[in-house]
Amino acid sequence: MTTPASSGDPDQYRLPTNVKATHYDVTIKTDLEKLTFKGLVKISLDVNAGTSAIVLNTSNLELGAATLYSNALSAEQAPTVSSFDKTQERTTFQLTQNLPAGSKAELKIAFSGELTGNMMGYYKSSWEHEGKTKHYALTQFEPTAARRAFPCWDEPLLKSTFSVTMISRADTVSLSNMPAISEEVLEHGVNVPSDLTELLADTKNEKWKITKFEKTPPMSTYIVAFANGHFKFLEDSVEMPLSKKIVPLRIYTTPDVIHQAQFALDVKKAVLPLYEKIFDVEYPLPKLDTLVASDFDAGAMENWGLITGRTSVFLLDPERGDLQAKKRVASVQSHEVAHMWFGNITTMEWWNYLYLNEGFATLMGEVIIPDRVFPEWRVNSEFITEHLNRALSLDAKPSSHPIEVDCPDANHINQIFDALSYSKAASVLRMLSSYVGEEKFLKGVSLYLKKKLFANSVTHDLWEGISESTGHNITALMENWITKIGFPVLTVTENERGIVVRQDRFLETGAADPKDNETVWNVPLSLVTAEDGKAIVDADVILEEREKFIPLDTSKPFKLNGGTTGVYRVLYTPERLALIAAEAAKDDSIFSLDDRIGLVHDALALSKAGLADLSSALTLVNLWKNEKEYLVWQGIGESLAGLVSIWWEHPKIVDQLNAFRRALFVPLVNKLGYEYPAGESRDTSLLRTLAVTQASAARDEGVVKELQSRFKHFMDTGDDSKIPSDLQRVTFAVAVRHGGGAEYDAIVKAHDKPKTPSERISAIAAMGATQDPELAQETLKFISTKAKDQDIFYFFSGLGNNFKTRRLLTKYFQDEYDVLYKRFEGNFSLHYLVTFSSDYYSSREDYAAIEAFFKDKDTSKYNQALAQTLDTIRARAAYVELARRATHLSVLLNDDNDHPRPTHAPRPYTPSSTLTATTH
């Protein structure tokens, strides 16, 4: 199995600095009929050191003639390509005359390429219009694909200005980062620039136009963007608070879905001025567009002035939009607008600092700013499940990586766009904000941005800004959180005088070996205690050593990690956890909603790691049967579903766990019903969706029959009014899971002609839910022959969630490996396919089989995902073995209310300490 490349000599992976590009004139001619593009790039160069060669990035381009004019030499020469390094995607031009240091030059290169459907570089996307397939073209350059569209110095540190000119058919729309300053129909002999004569020779008998765009500010190549197609748009504008400029806002789509774009436009209008005000830094561009793409590899992309992204993150049907889709559109649009500052104005120096872009965009774009626009959404509380717990789950694997990660080459760059760069980074920044106070935190961020306007930054630039605003030594406080792998579990032991808190690295496989347990983090404890029945939070107490004694009256309620702002888990004794759970269940509890969410995730994670009894975790859940908050139930449902998935090949245990799930969620279904009345709270609607989904997954007969009835009406009449949009996904899945060919065929039709992006995704998930082996093969065949590349991981996810099709999916992936690898090589999707096809196994035998399959493969483009997948299987297998030894598969207990309660008693965990931990 290939391991990640070592950084070694950085020059091996970075372009030479003998010349620096200062400005690009990029001309792109797009032919949507031939699905090709041609271009000419003129690059202004500063010669930093005398040189006889110029090295820059190109990939998948046919290079034409090149010329170079030197100011110092007052002469033009014709450099020749002396070598092309396919691995590093570099072309070397040999010069006939050396360029002297300190001089300036201009390099011109003609080039051409194909508009392929690989969703990288400048590529084609398709849509259906009046029964015919039509194409348009757009860019996706992050992280290293600008070189697929034009020759360039394709590294984030090498900022330049750009002037883009687009030549396109006269009936199309051309877009780029900046507004168009001119657009005119081409007339040969009248307005064709002399250096473009050859490029435009084949346009004489057709109607073409030339569109010139304003010059950009200094920017990195990965956020350059352009697009051409038959687009429609909605528009608005907003007055900015600092500059008082009126910034025009547009959202472009294909004509068939423009009616679903208004909400994303509204969100953009709401959030853009808030960023400018909070950061005290003006938005520097004269416009901000969004282009919605039918084919897109990532979720969305923050191209400066021209955000792009897939339909599911930007479109919302005003009549049929479900709440989760609405939240997704708002958070993604806000996240991408955050990048206009984090990433675009101030850009990380190299990809190992990716978190400076993505962690900030996640925290600002999905929490701090949306909380001001949609306070009823309680996004800070949602963050605990959607980001913090997700990050901790990944970071608990031995194959995790630090937030700031060595990132030498393109193969590794793609792989760090993960939950650590996004969710863990955001969680650590959120913890810091909570510790120093949000106002001071944001002030420090503003100072950081102002010092690095239109420049590049590293971690310490950020710490300097926040240190200045807070008076804290932020570097000392935060260094280990950014540069070290993992996070701690805090073990709390009690004596008559107080508590002792000890930190050790948390691993999903159990207590960490000494060699993996060397880091000591600075941990804000956020200690919650009670005084006169009110919560008192000590936000200043911090654990800076391996263990610490804290004086405390343990006869009163207390807990660590108040508000679940810390990036760690807390291990209490079973007795203390039961006391905390009982206190948290009270209506007037000193523990908050955010405390309860964190307690659920910690309890289940600690039990799966063998550090606590599962019975303790389920006692906590059982105490909260009368919980009213959706966000707590969401954590419970997610955790229980994870347990069921681990035991998927043990039907008796699955049945017992499902009985427990039914006992929890069916009463909620009975209470809330299936209808979504106008005006009800968002949380009530979400709780209903969750309860129905969990009850149906647990095979409750009444819920299944109700959903089947609603789908049958839709299948018989074509009328979907009995399927609320929020229940569409679960209804579709139940119909196929408990149905046959007729239901499956109806779902395929919904996939092919969806009313909304959400409906297509619901249909894909349902196609993977079939229990019929023949229909499962139909789904696999569909992947190979009909599915859009951007949707493949949805198919894999659906089949991987279905116990009946897991082994079929693994076999399909392995049988089709070469085809799939070639299809997705270089895409973000590749690592999802590796993970989703095999991370659900729970035995050593399957671990060995998966490992053996990849032994002779070149895994360099997904080695991190593979290592994480193998870690997951190993942890699941260890959990199953531990539980079987402890319980002999007898996992049913009955609580006082006769609800089935599974349990096991894992080995006691004692930290290697001079203190004695309570044995569990």
User: Which residues does the annotation place in the binding site?
Assistant: 335, 339, 358
Distance CA 651, CA 148 (A): 51
Give percent helix, percent strand, percent coil of the chain, each to the nearest 5. Answer: 45, 20, 35
Binding residues for Zn(2+): 335, 339, 358
Distances (CA, A) of 261 to 258, 299, 309, 757: 5, 16, 12, 12
Distances (CA, A) of 282 to 244, 251, 286, 645: 10, 22, 11, 49
DSSP H helices in 624-678: 630-646, 651-672
Distance CA 796, CA 791 (A): 9
Distance CA 84, CA 94 (A): 12
Two tokens at 18?
């003998």
Q: Which of 696, 661, 660, 641 lies closest to 898, judged by CA?
A: 660
Distance CA 20, CA 22 (A): 6
**Side chain identity at residue 834, one-letter code:** V
CA angle (574 as vertex; 571, 578 as ends), nearest 5: 105
Distance CA 713, CA 422 (A): 42
Distance CA 119, CA 112 (A): 17
Distance CA 396, CA 398 (A): 7
Q: Which of 766, 816, 837, 757 lies closest to 790, judged by CA?
A: 757
Please give the DSSP secondary-structure letter assigned to residue 839. T
Distance CA 381, CA 113 (A): 47
Two tokens at 142?
């992050």
SS3 498: strand
Two tokens at 258?
């423009």
The number of residues making up the chain comes to: 920
Q: Which of 611, 524, 516, 629 lies closest to 568, judged by CA?
A: 524
Distances (CA, A) of 234 to 214, 248, 266, 565, 864: 22, 11, 10, 39, 41
Q: How many CB atoms within 10 Å of residue 663?
A: 18
Exposed, middle or buried: residue 752 (CB in 10 Å: 0-12, 13-18, 19+)? exposed
Distance CA 552, CA 550 (A): 6
Two tokens at 688?
């209903």
Q: Is the peptide bond before 217 cis (omega within 30 degrees of 0)?
A: no
Q: Which of 646, 580, 644 lies closest to 617, judged by CA?
A: 580
- By annotation, the residues acting in catalysis are 336
Q: How many CB atoms within 10 Å of residue 376?
A: 9
Contacts (Cβ under 8 Å, ≥6 apart) of 35: 114, 115, 124, 135
Q: Residue by residue, what is the 3-state secondary structure of 68-93? A: EEECCCCEEECCEEEEEECCCCEEEE
Q: Residue by residue, what is the 3-state secondary structure of 286-341? A: CCEEEEEECCCCCCEECCCCEEEEEHHHHCCCCCCCCHHHHHHHHHHHHHHHHCCC
DSSP secondary structure letters along 45-75: EEESS-EEEEEEE--S-EEEEEEEEETTTTE
Q: Which residues pair with 290 in a beta bridge?
A: 251, 307
Q: Which residues pair with 253 in a beta bridge?
A: 232
Distance CA 675, CA 723 (A): 9
